[in-house]
Amino acid sequence: MNRLGSFAVQIAALATMWTLPALGQESFRMICRGSSQGIVVKIHAGDASNSYQKLGLFFQKAPRAAGQNGRTLLPGTCAWVDRPINAAEPDIIAHNIPPGLHYQVDFDRPGGNVIHFRPHNGAYGWVDDLHNPNKLWTFYVYNTRQGELRVTQSIAGTGVLID
């Protein structure tokens, strides 16, 4: 198998790893707006054997629905497209980092620690983008019933053109 074919097999394997935990789970669309005051992102072991890592985005619940374009969101908040997040729902978005994906944690950055992915990975671009109140990210998530909303897909913006 040539290098290109080998690379394609590796990509397919990674795609499978990212989607396996979400099989059978219906995901729902949530939009988050960044904040210049900083967002709280924590990284920790994803399981007891530390076979993968997990990013946690800790956010404020918006008082109203995000709508299709996220215009109603205040900086640092998230909401479902069609309604606010209710009091019983988690305020943590958990995004798994598969084994082999390289990242660096910058502990010396003024204003707090920052996680950088090398090379920059689009699915995790929210880590950088959500430090800007003009940036929106869409997350497709499901409630794990263990205090977090698990990401099945993340997309820069809202997925809807804003006039």
pLDDT tens-digit profile of 107-161? 555 555 556 665 555 788 888 888 899 999 999 999 999 999 999 999 999 876 4
pTM greater than 0.95: no
More confident: 128 or 77: 77
Q: Is 156 exposed, middle or buried (0-12, 13-18, 19+ CB in 10 A)?
A: middle
Question: How far apart are the C-alpha atoms of 125 and 78, rounded to whole Å?
Answer: 16
Q: Using CA atoms, how far apart are residues 30 and 140, in angstroms rounded to an integer? A: 6
Q: How far apart are CA 101 and CA 119, in angstroms?
A: 9
